[in-house]
Amino acid sequence: MLKVKKDKINGLIGEFLKDYLVFAPVKDGSRSKFKKITDPAEISTGTVKSERSPKDVFFPQSEVLFEYDTNGVRISDNEEKPYLLWGVRNCDTKSIRMLDKVFGNAHQAPDKDMYKDPYWKKKYDTSVIFNFACTAPLSTCFCNWFGGGPFDETGSDVFVVETDGDLILKGVSEKGKALLEKLSVTIEAEKKDEELAETAKKKAEEMMSKPTDISNLFEKLSTVWNEPVWQKLAAKCVNCGACAFICPTCHCFDVSDEGKNGRGKRVRLWDSCMFPIFTMEASGHNPRGNSTQRVKQRVMHKFNYFMENYGSHLCTGCGRCIVVCPVNFDIREVIKGILDHKIKEKVQADV
């Protein structure tokens, strides 16, 4: 393991800024979000995840697909430096890896170029993620339900632990290891540093509440489609969509044209399955016309459909949706509600 002394961190970031576009948590009022930085002084890593996830580094809330005018369409193909993400927490690192499964290709036809999202790949494929350990998890954190933890390094390129202001670095992926070898400001970590890291890990893990066993969740969800439990669980949701926008793994979007007089741009914008208009058809027919159906869709997509298609839950337990929900809709309670639900009688699927 390597180490960067407190007073050398700015120099390290400075080195990165030469070769990379560096994205890091930056204070934006009382909250922090990932932004492109030009000066290490802007960074505000804190002890836990940023209020907004780094999802929008690769998948911005609004992204121009192309510009058009009467002569046709034009895509911008300006070359950018590779992206380096600094201060990402493990829930978000894993989220980004999940999103790559969707945008990187299509599981139905992994080799078909048409299904590879060029806007995502251009940014993602050459990126490096510096995953920071969480030293003070929040009460809403539940990454341990999904096998994660504050010191989980799965998915990282470089894993970082902050101890007394110094940074201990560990290359996890080949890409991360290669990058660390090139750095000039690092020194070998000592035994003492590793002990400090170990103590911090123990302390952080103790702060996490006991995880609920969700090994049965996928199977259970496959059996409860027609159960009344959905009405009960969904009753207080107001379909505002805040959970989907703040979620690091939600990735649905709308495509819209902005412009006038034959000139403009086609953009994609975050969208949410919580909104009635999401599935509304021009005829007025809406296959998911009521709130319960929409809540069910979101839960099923996260904990059943995604598992079927990609082998994991589409949730990393970051808990942001719990924090932002205006009606205290707690996804953990929903999961427990499903797991605890007893099916009274077998109900036929309504094909």
Partner 1 sequence: MCNGYLPIQMKVEKILAENPDKTLKTFDLSFVNEKDRDEFSYMPGQFCEFSMLGKGESPFGIASSPTEKDILKFTVNRTGSVTKEIHYLQPGDIVGIRGPLGNWYPVEKFKGADVVIIGGGFAFTTLRSMLVYMLEHRSDYGMITVIYGARNPDLLIYKDELKEWDKRDDLFLHLTIDKSVEGWTKHCGFVPTITKEVAPDPNSWAVVCGPPIMIKFTLPVLKELGFADDKIYTSLERRMKCGIGKCGRCGIGSKYVCIDGPVFSFEELKNIPEAF
Please give the backbone phi and psi of residue 126, each rounded to the nearest 5 degrees, phi first.
Answer: -105, 10
Out of 61, 139, 216, 226, point to the residue binding partner 1 (CB under 8 A). 226
Q: Is 313 in the site for partner 1 (CB under 8 A)?
A: no
Pick from 82, 259, 289, 326: which binds partner 1 (CB under 8 A)? 259
Taking residues 181 to 220 in sequence order and writing x for each that binds partner 1 by CB under 8 A, - otherwise, the string is ----------------------------------------
Question: 287, 340, 342, 346: which one contacts partner 1 (CB under 8 A)?
Answer: 287
Q: Which of 234, 162, 250 is nearest to 204 (CA)?
A: 162
Coil vs helix vs strand at 209: coil
3-state secondary structure 239-306: CCCHHHHHCCCCCCEEEEEEEECCEEEEEEEECCCCCHHHCCCCCCCCCCCCHHHHHHHHHHHHHHHH
Q: Does 281 bind partner 1 (CB under 8 A)?
A: yes
Nearer to partner 1, 161 or 242 (CB): 242
How many residues touch partner 1 under the rule CB under 8 A: the total is 57
Q: Compute the least distance from the CB of residue 97 to partner 1, in Å.
A: 16
Site string for partner 1, 26-65 (x = CB under 8 A): ---------------------------------------x
Question: Strand, helix or coil at 70?
Answer: coil
> 144: which DSSP letter?
G
Three-state secondary structure string covering 91-126: HHHHHHHHHHHHHHCCCCCCCCHHHCCHHHHHHHCC
How far apart CA 4 and CA 120 sit, in angstroms, is: 32
Contact positions vs partner 1 (CB under 8 A): 65-66, 68, 72-73, 75, 102-103, 106, 108-109, 113-119, 121-122, 225-226, 251-257, 259-260, 262, 264, 266, 268, 271, 273, 278-283, 285, 287-288, 297, 300-301, 304-306, 308-309, 349-351
